[in-house]
Amino acid sequence: MGGRRPVVYVIGLGPGPSGLITLETMELLQKAGEVLVRTERHPCVEDLRARGINLRFLDHHYQEGDSMQEVYTSMAREVAEEAAAGGEVYYATPGHPLLAERTVQLLLQEELEVRLHSAVSFLDAVFSTLELDAVE
């Protein structure tokens, strides 16, 4: 089996406004020709649009699936198919891509090269708001 595996750049959008997106992540989003986004229901979406980032939302899967497992499976399938067709794809998720993101777990099981670009998670926001030290 020669050749390079398709690449999926999984990008975390953080828990809120675009100011919480890392500089590296913002540069990656701006470089992408199109970004598949798990849901349009995220506080940073309008700012990303204003920056000229081409976003394609996967919310239609929520109406088409009979269960959340089916929804996430079909989303991951669409992302994987786009990567296979074009050699690479950019996929953005709310929060941190490894925190409660079933689609990312499904993509990690595929014959893909998954490159994770972390983000602030909602846990970071909780720790700050409650002034908690995670170690304690």
pLDDT tens by residue, 11-53 = 999 887 888 888 899 999 999 999 999 999 998 999 999 999 9
Q: Which residue has the tokens 């050699």?
A: 87
Sequence-distant (6+) residues with CB within 8 A of 117 are 9, 10, 11, 12, 22, 24, 25, 28, 97
Give residue-wise pLDDT tens across range 59-111.
Answer: 999 999 999 999 999 999 999 999 999 999 999 999 888 888 899 999 999 99
Residues 40 and 63 sit within 8 Å (Cβ to Cβ): no
31, burial (CB in 10 Å: exposed 0-12, middle 13-18, buried 19+): exposed
Determine the pLDDT at residue 15: 83
What pTM did the predictor assign? 0.88
Residue 115 CA to residue 103 CA, distance in Å, equals 14
